[in-house]
Amino acid sequence: MVISRKARLELVGAVAARYAASTKSEKARILDEFVAIAGYHRKHAIRLLTCGRDAPVAVGRAARPRVYDEAVSQALVVLWEAADRICGKRLRPLLPLLLSSLERHGHLRLDAVIRAKLLRMGAATIDRLLAPTRLPGMAQGKRHRKQPSVKGEIPVRTFADWGDPKPGFMEIDLVAHGGGGTVGNFVHTLTLTDIASGWTECVSLAVRESALVVGAIERLRNAMPFPLRGIDSDNGSEFINDVLLRFSLDAQIEFTRSRPYLKNDQAWVEQKNGAVVRRMVGYGRLDGLVASEALARLYDSTRLFVNFFQPSFKLRSKERVGARVRKHYYAPATPCARLLASAHVAEDSKDRLRAVLVTLDPLRLLDEQPGGLCRGGRRERSRHGRPGHRRGSAGRRRHASLSRARCGPRAGCPAGGRQPDTLRCGRGRGRRSS
């Protein structure tokens, strides 16, 4: 049975007088009844019945006297401002020097007691006394937590974490066609390379924009002969953003990123950036919608030649022998051949690949490439470190003219000679089509 506090007090008043006039044995019986009804502890019940309502109440611990009064706090604020508002741990060792300097130049005069309290003050006490004077968010002792970024939601994958994945896990990267500069808007190439097969797709983007990247990936999902299972990008803002993250979550695509400033984590796509994109398009500047559309038409034929008629090596294993690393490779094979030999590619996709392979003419595809993707053997490198420029005075004149030339009606130019005022590129002197 539970009774109210008011009823308990009335019960104490009624029983206390009878309890005081009773013998020892009667007190024990009255105490048993009182404890059973009121629910008090037996010792507390004895105190209540003995003293009545004036039973002693537990008193809390008395507050410690304040050591540092308002005068000390105000002096500390002056010193803190003079020290450019540094933290207590840095201000504590500076106080003797700072006090002497301010007093010597007449900026501060302190009582001896206040000065002694300031000098024996600890760093934690300094921060506590300065808390009301600091910024409102810092006055409560709260730390400003950094808001979680999109980058923190995307896991990191290194070059050693791939293992032997299924077809569909691709590295993605952007290649800038800015002619060596970053001023203004210019065309970019989105490159996607499959880790398992080496299948490479290139998409022309008019500008560097995350929405265009997502749109290009969405179109390629239906064009590739395997499902897109995962993408691995660098840390550029065109990839690390809410748009691409939401797209990957909705499409159930695994999204990872490389470590910052470590290009070896994206070795597969970086190799294709040079062997495919730079070798075809070069290093000149491409800007405008016309240039982007011309580059897209070029990639439509290039993807067929690269994926169906360009064998590549694939690393099988490597071992360290002393100071040397010995690498072992599989036999060279085209991306199409690797997909046909894979057990993770559906049979209907393999049938479509075989049907496309029968209809392709490698010479016609090769002739559509600017300057020949694989013709002419090895290109010389100039003093500028870029392929395609010969040494000597003729090479220097050609390099100077390429930076100013606009595309003419050459088969080697991605624009095909259209709209010379809206497209600049470094391949104006391309090979004529035979």
CATH number of the domain where residue 263 is located? 3.30.420.10
More confident site: 89 or 137: 89
> Residue 347 is inside which H or E element, if any?
helix 347-359
Contact 9, 53 (CB under 8 A): yes
Contacts of 222 (CB under 8 A, 6+ apart): none
370: pLDDT confidence band, cut at 50, 70 and 90? low
424: pLDDT confidence band, cut at 50, 70 and 90? very low
DSSP summary character for residue 64 = P
In a domain, 186, yes or no: yes
Residues 197 and 270 in one domain: yes
Contacts of 370 (CB under 8 A, 6+ apart): 280, 281, 298, 411, 412, 413, 414, 427, 430, 431
Residues 217 and 172 in one domain: yes
Contact 276, 299 (CB under 8 A): no
pLDDT at position 226: 94
Of 89, 109, 139, at which residue does a domain stop?
Answer: 139
Contacts of 156 (CB under 8 A, 6+ apart): 256, 257, 258, 259
More confident site: 8 or 344: 344
Q: How far is CA 235 from CA 9, 190, 364, in A?
A: 73, 15, 38
In a domain, 409, yes or no: no
In a domain, 296, yes or no: yes
Name the residue type at position 264. N
pLDDT at position 192: 95
Kindly tell me the sign of the dihedral angle through the C-alpha atoms of 71, 72, 73, 77: positive
pLDDT at position 150: 86
Sheet holding 254-257, edge to edge: 200-205, 188-194, 169-176, 230-233, 254-257
Residues 132 and 166 in one domain: no
In a domain, 423, yes or no: no
Residues 186 and 133 in one domain: no
Residues 264 and 384 in one domain: yes
Checking if the pLDDT of 60 tops 80, the result is: no
Residues 39 and 77 in one domain: no
In a domain, 403, yes or no: no
Provide, rounded to the nearest whole percent, the portion of the chain with pLDDT above 90: 46
What residue has token string 């050609």?
A: 398
371: pLDDT confidence band, cut at 50, 70 and 90? low
Checking if the pLDDT of 287 tops 50, the result is: yes
Residues 252 and 382 in one domain: yes
Mean pLDDT throughout 72-96? 90
In a domain, 60, yes or no: no
Report pLDDT digits (tens) over 298-346: 998 889 999 999 998 888 888 999 999 999 999 999 999 999 999 999 9
> Residue 51 is inside which H or E element, if any?
helix 42-51
Checking if the pLDDT of 20 tops 60, the result is: yes
Residues 329 and 298 in one domain: yes
Q: Which two tokens stand for residue 333?
A: 């094979």
* Total domains, the chain: 3
Residues 273 and 335 in one domain: yes
CA–CA distance, 137 with 228 (Å, rounded to integer): 46
Q: Which two tokens stand for residue 434?
A: 């035979």
In a domain, 413, yes or no: no
Long-range pairs of 360-368 with CB within 8 A, sequence gap ≥ 24: 360/304, 360/308, 360/309, 362/305, 362/308, 362/309, 365/301, 365/302, 365/304, 365/305, 365/309, 366/305, 366/309, 367/433, 367/434, 368/298, 368/301, 368/302
Residues 319 and 380 in one domain: yes
Give 427's Cβ-side CA count (13 Å radius). Answer: 28
39: pLDDT confidence band, cut at 50, 70 and 90? confident
Most confident of 382-386, 396-400, 423-427: 382-386
Q: Beta strands 230-233 and 200-205: pairing type?
A: unpaired
Residues 361 and 294 in one domain: yes
What residue has token string 């595309």?
A: 407
Residues 129 and 254 in one domain: no
Mean pLDDT throughout 103-131? 90
Q: Which two tokens stand for residue 282?
A: 């070069």
In a domain, 144, yes or no: no
What residue has token string 């089509």?
A: 433
CA–CA distance, 388 with 124 (Å, rounded to integer): 67
Mean pLDDT throughout 201-220? 93
Angle, CA 7 vertex, CA 4 and CA 11 arms, to 5°: 140
The range of the structural domain enclosing residue 102 comes to 70-139
